[in-house]
Structure 1
Amino acid sequence: MQTTTIDFDEFMSFSFETASQKFYATNEYHLLKDKIEIMEQDYQERFSKDDSIFIENCFDVLLELEGSQAEFIYRQGYKDCVQLLKNLEVLA
């Protein structure tokens, strides 16, 4: 059973990374990235170096949380899909 779990975890990591790379190639990602770069430039100009470092650390924590949440939702989506296919008797 342990091998199955490891294989599933590896599959999920690979699938999530592949989906992320596809997102990074979209116009939506590039527009958001441009907005973030403008925002970073703005707060670096408006705040002291210490305040800017604090703000960057806050953003890092928020981005880490968002990334973990996205990966959890992605994994849950797979589980929900399998459950749906079982309920529809497509899978045994």
Structure 2
Amino acid sequence: RLLKCFHVYCEQCLQRLVRGGQEGQSLPCPQCRQDTLLPVGGVSGLQGAFYIHYLFDIQDALKKVSSSEQTMCNKCTKRGRPLLRDVRRVDMSRLHRSCSS
């Protein structure tokens, strides 16, 4: 779960830090001590760290690609650099930075 200070902790660890974990209760970040007010739903109501899930998606896709044949982008085929095609939410119109110039 994402705290106000943008530090991320699992829900179970935050539940252990907060006794009761009621709405409006203040939760100090274990790292920087900045307070986060708990929303409706307590710790469970805190926003999830979507970017952490996105990184796991990328990691899973990279594992698939490394164990299978890699797909090349049009400009990179001659250079032999793979472009990851099966990562969700990636705009395929984008190419490697060095190829776009």
TM over 0.5: no
Q: Determine which structure has the larger strand proportion and give its number.
A: 2
Q: Which has the higher contact order (CA 8 A, sep 6+)?
A: 1
TM-score (normalizing by structure 1): 0.33
